[in-house]
Structure 1
Amino acid sequence: MESHFSTLDWVILAVYFLVLASIGPLFARRNKSTETYFVGNRSFPAWLLGLAMFATSISSITVVAYPADAYKTAYLRLLPAFMLPLGIYIASKVFLPFFRRSRCTSAFEYLEGRFGPGVRMYAACSFLFGQIMRISTILYLVSLVFQQMTGASPYACIVVGGLVIGTYTVLGGIKAIVWTQFVQAFVLWFGAFLCLKTVLAGIDGGISTVISTALADGKFMMGDLNPVSGKLEPAPWVSFQEKAILMMFLCGITGWLTEYSSNQNVIQKYVSAKNPKEATRSIWICCFCSVPTWAFFMFLGTSIYVYFKLHPDEYANAILSGAAGAKAESILPYFV
């Protein structure tokens, strides 16, 4: 595949990866105890943890898959995101105070004390298996972007990305993770706004044209493609045979309650806050950043749909029709 990367692009990418990789050794020298390594001496402020948790929730699944979904279908899969505030509210009243009182560094530590090492081992292995599946998906989606823009092997992206992330995580502990994610949050926002600005610059009438065209084509509806006709149709409120609005809401609240009650990525951060009040603020900061960002990336996908409708492109049309094995996940890197 042809590379679209210039020498300057490669230099910027290399510097970015080197900076990330250097964070681990930098913080490794400061980790003098298990408490420091896992929870940073419970000294993090709300704003830092909140943005770190936000960056955790905004992975390549958001950056690549959300625009792809909005480009090809509509906004049905955004519905679970709207249940996050309810999940956060319940977590702030039930789960967060519980883990803060227990003074645990992980949910698994509590399980061992309450039920024994066997339960801890089972829960930890289950969590690790789930994370392996999640990280595999994230790295795969990143590799699609990398391959589309550089023409390089996706395997190289997966290996390099995995090594860099693994290096600063294992060496630096929670402090390296939190500060890296804090920086990545702003990198993400900057890149996202730059993408949208570029899309809108190529559309006569800008955002008003995007909205009017998308409304006319039903791109904002809570619906999905009909598997038979291939056309967008509104989703039913209740159904046991197809995706339904109520089902998406239930999936959302179930997922978020699971996330904030048992996911070590989240628990480890909010038990690292200075105090319970700061911990509560941190998860609300995460919520208020995450939901608009998810909606933003859906709108980005809709904007790309309008762009290619006004500027027809063979590959973009193939993605809509599913022809020649074209994957919707490649639409954002293809546009970029």
Structure 2
Amino acid sequence: METSSLHWIDIAIIIASIIMALGVGFYFSRNQNSTDTYFAAGGNIPSWAVGMSMFATIISSVTFLAYPGNAYAGNWILLVQGLMVPLVLVCLIGFIVPLYRRVIRLSTYEYFERRFGPLARLYSSFAFVLEHFSKMGTILYLLALAMAMFVGGMDIRWVIIIIGAVVIVMTFFGGMEAIIWMDVIQGFLLIIGGLLAVGMLFYLTDGGPAEIFRIAGEYKKIDFGPYDMDLTHLTFLVMVLNGIFYALQKYGTDQSIVQRYLTARDDRSAKRASYLGIFLSVPTWALFMFVGTCLFAYYHINSGILPKGIKSDEVFPYFISTEMPVGITGLILAALIAGAISSIDADINCISAIVVEDYYGRFRKTATDRQKMRVGRWAVVITGLGAIACALLYVAWGGEGVLGTLFGLYAILSAGIVGIFLLGLFSRRANWQGLYIGIAAAIVFTAYAVLTSTHYGDDRMLLDLGSWNFTHHKYMLGVYSHIIVLVVGYVASLFFKTPLADKELTIYGYLEEKRKENK
């Protein structure tokens, strides 16, 4: 794809946004005197700010680039996953939030230990760390590729190093408080960036919004199909099933979200923040899908101006670099960078919290809070450097195959995390013996699926079993692994006679409390 040089005004806007991120980190550094403030902001953040932070963390720069590209090439089927989030969580948030605020000190996976023992905690926390290292590297890599589209001759490795260093410095000094308030700013930037793009497309498209909607209707661009029951390719049903477990995974087991529950002032504020994060995310996902639809209409009318061979994910960056006026381009690129920072800083802080709580604190029980703070800050630096290294490996080895391989490894080593959560939440009879059998079954199944499929690496199939190969869409793998842990774990638990779990660690304690309140 052709590249162009940015105007100095656009460059100034981008630099200003990066300096602002560093400034926020240094400003809040004066408050970081304990692990409670460093990792949970002292539990004193307003609910609206916590909600904006959740929103900004979920809406990363991947959304900024991938959603318009997918909507341009196809339809809105990926949005189905997001639509499942409010449907699944409207009722569950009221229970999940107070449960975590009551049961854990800092780590999400402390709950897993209280239900199923230390191995469940270590397994799930390790899975989170593995997944989010891959995620951080992916975000940095994709951001660098996007920036290279705007400036000819730019070495994407320097983009990775510079943005990674900014995030490390901000997170190291400012802790969770700086992250949340920076996320608030970055959340607004993301929304403004999407709205500016739609506004410019409305203005530049001959016939305006009416023509865009006419073309979208004619080519079925605002659609969620195909609607058949086939699970071997991407369908509405696949995305519904995937979306249900995505919602449960994100809001029920993901440290980057659960840790934010702890930053709110009380249970009610934390629940309000969660609802705000959910209901901001869905319209924003739809907004960036609509950007892709508008791009399709614009380039359908102006079909001769797109470079030959351009990929769908490159169309939005190309439009920004060639059609956006000076200043607006800088704002949108600042929003793109903001999306990357808001996801990576949260992941770095959360992994640091896990290192301190799930590993260092476990093996050094006499450690003082000051010692934990020191370890936490070093964990921030090491995690950030690891994310940079991961992104640089993508550059060195070629992104797509590496991403697929890493996804496969993560899928095998972290099978069924949501299944663990649901088993602990809904069954007092479930025990650690049954759970470990369920996890083992899920790992075996996931390894089989990865080895007999071409979805998770390059086109080579590592193990060809003919008609026994795993042929379902890759999004179904997570669904199956969670269900296997849930079902096998429960059934296996019935063979081991153990006391019922504490009612307060399950949904039944919450329901009993509600019944008492209503009397």
Any conservation in 2 of the 1:81–1:252 contact (CA below 8 Å)? yes
SS in 1 for 2:78: helix
Give the drift of 1:184: 0.3
Q: Give me the whole-angstrom Cα distance separating, in 1, the residues matched to 2:123 and 2:174.
A: 26
> Superposed, which structure 2 residues align to 1:6-45 within 5 Å?
6-45=7-46
Q: Give me the whole-angstrom Cα distance separating, in 1, the residues matched to 2:90 and 2:105.
A: 21
Match of 2:204 among 181, 202, 223: 202
Cα distance per residue 1:288-321 (max 9 Å; x no partner):
11101111110110001110111123545x4xxx
Cα distance per residue 1:176-214 (max 9 Å; x no partner):
110010000111122111111111111122111100111
Relative to structure 1, is the Cα distance of residues 2 and 327 closer, same or farther in structure 2, using a 3 angstrom cutoff? closer
Relative to structure 1, is the Cα distance of residues 241 and 103 closer, same or farther in structure 2, using a 3 angstrom cutoff? closer
Any conservation in 1 of the 2:104–2:110 contact (CA below 8 Å)? no
Cα distance per residue 1:264-300 (max 9 Å; x no partner):
1100101211111111110111111110111111011
Q: Give me the whole-angstrom Cα distance separating, in 1, the residues matched to 2:29 and 2:109.
A: 24
Q: Is 74-83 or 120-129 further displaced after alignment?
A: 120-129
Match of 2:222 among 195, 220, 245: 220
SS in 1 for 2:5: coil
Cα distance per residue 1:220-251 (max 9 Å; x no partner):
2223xxxxxxxxxxx13311322221221110
SS in 2 for 1:94: helix
> Superposed, which structure 2 residues align to 1:1-336 within 5 Å?
2-112=3-113, 117-151=118-152, 152-223=154-225, 235-313=226-304, 315=306, 318=308, 323=309, 326-336=310-320
Q: Give me the whole-angstrom Cα distance separating, in 2, the residues matched to 1:266 and 1:273.
A: 12
Q: Note the aligned Cα RMSD (angstroms).
A: 1.8
SS in 1 for 2:206: coil
Question: What number of residue pairs does the alignment pair up?
Answer: 318
Q: Is 302-311 or 103-112 further displaced after alignment?
A: 103-112
Structure 1 vs Structure 2: percent identity of aligned residues? 32
Q: Give me the whole-angstrom Cα distance separating, in 2, the residues matched to 1:262 and 1:302.
A: 33
TM-score by length of 2: 0.59
Give the drift of 1:119: 4.0
Any conservation in 2 of the 1:84–1:287 contact (CA below 8 Å)? yes
Give the drift of 1:41: 1.4
Give the drift of 1:114: 5.4
Report the AA paired with residue 287 of structure 1.
Answer: I
Q: Is 204-213 or 237-246 further displaced after alignment?
A: 237-246
Gap runs ≥5 in structure 1: 224-234
SS in 1 for 2:128: helix
Q: Give me the whole-angstrom Cα distance separating, in 2, the residues matched to 1:113 and 1:176.
A: 31
SS in 1 for 2:193: helix
SS in 1 for 2:31: coil
Higher radius of gyration, 1 or 2: 2
Q: Give me the whole-angstrom Cα distance separating, in 1, the residues matched to 2:234 and 2:108.
A: 33
Any conservation in 2 of the 1:103–1:271 contact (CA below 8 Å)? no
Give the drift of 1:103: 4.4
Give the drift of 1:68: 0.2
Give the drift of 1:163: 1.3
Report the AA paired with residue 21 of structure 1.
Answer: L
Relative to structure 1, is the Cα distance of residues 32 and 120 closer, same or farther in structure 2, using a 3 angstrom cutoff? same
Any conservation in 2 of the 1:91–1:260 contact (CA below 8 Å)? no
Q: Is 294-303 or 36-45 further displaced after alignment?
A: 36-45
Q: Give me the whole-angstrom Cα distance separating, in 1, the residues matched to 2:199 and 2:5.
A: 20
Q: Give me the whole-angstrom Cα distance separating, in 1, the residues matched to 2:211 and 2:159.
A: 37
The structure with higher relative contact order (CA 8 Å, sep 6+) is 1
Report the AA paired with residue 192 of structure 1.
Answer: G
SS in 2 for 1:29: helix
Q: Give me the whole-angstrom Cα distance separating, in 2, the residues matched to 1:303 and 1:290.
A: 20
TM-score by length of 1: 0.89
Any conservation in 2 of the 1:91–1:257 contact (CA below 8 Å)? no
Any conservation in 1 of the 2:171–2:178 contact (CA below 8 Å)? yes
Give the drift of 1:112: 4.8
Any conservation in 2 of the 1:104–1:110 contact (CA below 8 Å)? no
Report the AA paired with residue 273 of structure 1.
Answer: A
Report the AA paired with residue 258 of structure 1.
Answer: Q
Report the AA paired with residue 327 of structure 1.
Answer: K
Report the AA paired with residue 280 of structure 1.
Answer: K
Report the AA paired with residue 157 of structure 2.
Answer: Y
Give the drift of 1:48: 0.5
Q: Give me the whole-angstrom Cα distance separating, in 1, the residues matched to 2:157 and 2:84.
A: 35
Cα distance per residue 1:119-138 (max 9 Å; x no partner):
43333222111011111222
Q: Is 175-184 or 129-138 further displaced after alignment?
A: 129-138
Gap runs ≥5 in structure 2: 321-519
SS in 2 for 1:281: helix
Any conservation in 2 of the 1:91–1:261 contact (CA below 8 Å)? no
Give the drift of 1:3: 3.1
Report the AA paired with residue 259 of structure 1.
Answer: K
Report the AA paired with residue 242 of structure 1.
Answer: H
Give the drift of 1:93: 3.1
> 1:231 maps to what in 2?
none
Q: Give me the whole-angstrom Cα distance separating, in 1, the residues matched to 2:26 and 2:125.
A: 26
